Amino acid sequence: MSYKAIYTYAWDLAETGVKAAADEFRGLGLDTVTMAGSYHAGKFMRPHGRAGKVLFPEDGTVYFNADPSRYGAIKPVANSMLSERDMLGELVEQSGMAVNVWLVLLHNTRLGMANTQSVVRNAFGDPYYYNLCPSAPEARAYAIGLARDVTESYPVSGLSMESPGFAPYAHGFHHEFALMKSNPWLENMLGLCFCDHCVSGAEKAGIDARRFKAEVAGDIEAYLDSDIDYPADMAEAFWRADVATNADLRRYLDFRNGVVTSLVAEIRAAVRKDATVAVIPSVARPTAGAWYEGSDLYALAATTGIVEACFYEPSAERIRADLFDIRRRLKGTGTLRGILRPSHPDISNRAEFIAAVEALREGGVEELAFYNWGHLRRANLGWIGDVLRGAQ
Ligand SMILES: [Zn+2]
Ligand SMILES: [Zn+2]
């Protein structure tokens, strides 16, 4: 199956109309529309928006008609647009293109606030409302329900799922604030989840998780009580040393990989067989950093068959390096897709974008996606057409 996809939002499609949008996409050489079916909050610039230029999406809502009976205790919240229009439905009926649905799974602050028993908690027990924990049974039922629901109710070709795992500590929350410097060691320690579900799961895996949780809390406490600021490079080295020398930490990280891989496997098993399931494995750059989120790249590729990696880098050279490394990790398993942003802050000009696509193709990546129609200026959208239609 060919996958030359444009990432889109329902509000942009609604404004332009599905038929006109699809004509534009086909004109750029695209064959697939990847539309957000569940999405989080934001403050988004829409350079070619007609009704307005800045949009705040409703946090943590779905953009398809969900069937509540397909979920457990945590149920999706419908976006208010749905009372008037179902853009996913219009897309599958009217676009004449393959429609792939993009699901943000566990990053959902609205649902986290409403379901605090299922959110990530640090070593002190503080809830991180923006991340439902993949160890929490109700969070898993929600993620599985979402994937099954949308693929059973709509004839989509497949889904691309994001945030199946443990989000890193740094998130960019509203008015995030501290009167001290941060560093990678502190953030990695603060990002480890020790919710009751993780602790009991890790204990079942033979890890003394209560003792390890107390150790992490003690280490963070001692640092916060001191007047030391770790420089970033030293903090990275300290964290690396912890990972290499602390057996409990290593086993805990392995446990987290297992949690996410098994969730992804349950999702694959719940989705109709003829729908493709791709995993967007990580918010880390480069993608190799996915392990902190519990994304084992090889295991995910073996489980779903498709890894859809973000190549959000400023040059074709860096993309080549990232691709070379991801290939090594996948060991020939599964299909690797590439997502590119033909714009700031990644790619500054058309020639570099053409070189970036060429780098992916030379590395055997034929399935490409571009991020994101509503966010890109007209001139940058034009680069996609140039590269897919072969104009140089
Ligand atoms: Zn967010
Ligand atoms: Zn947890």
What are 161-217's pLDDT values in tens digits? 999 999 999 887 888 899 999 999 999 999 999 999 999 999 999 999 999 999 999
pLDDT the model gives residue 391: 59
Nearest ligand (C-alpha, residue 252): 2
User: pLDDT per residue over 98-135, tens digit each?
Assistant: 999 999 999 999 999 999 999 999 999 999 999 999 99
Mean pLDDT score across all residues of the chain: 97
Nearest ligand (C-alpha, residue 108): 1
Which residues, at least 6 apart from 268, have a Cβ–Cβ distance to it below 8 Å?
Answer: 277, 303, 304
Cα of 269 from ligand 2 centre, angstroms: 23
Q: Flag whether the pTM goes above 0.95.
A: yes
CA distance 221 to 207: 22
Residue 392 has pLDDT above 60, yes or no: no
CA distance 6 to 388: 12
Percent of the chain at pLDDT > 90 equals 97
Cα of 173 from ligand 1 centre, angstroms: 7
Cα of 195 from ligand 2 centre, angstroms: 4
Nearest ligand (C-alpha, residue 43): 1
- Specify whether the CB–CB gap between 54 and 73 falls below 8 A: no
Percent of the chain at pLDDT > 70 equals 99
- Average pLDDT (311-335) is 98
Cα of 17 from ligand 2 centre, angstroms: 41
Residue found by looking up tokens 């997502």 in the block: 339
CA distance 184 to 231: 9
CA distance 147 to 272: 9
CA distance 34 to 14: 15
Cα of 196 from ligand 2 centre, angstroms: 7
Nearest ligand (C-alpha, residue 167): 1
List Cβ<8 Å contacts ≥24 apart for 75-83. 75/142, 75/145, 76/38, 76/142, 76/145, 76/146, 76/149, 77/110, 77/111, 79/10, 81/10, 81/11, 81/14
Nearest ligand (C-alpha, residue 163): 1
pLDDT the model gives residue 39: 97
Cα of 42 from ligand 1 centre, angstroms: 7
- Specify whether the CB–CB gap between 123 and 75 falls below 8 A: no
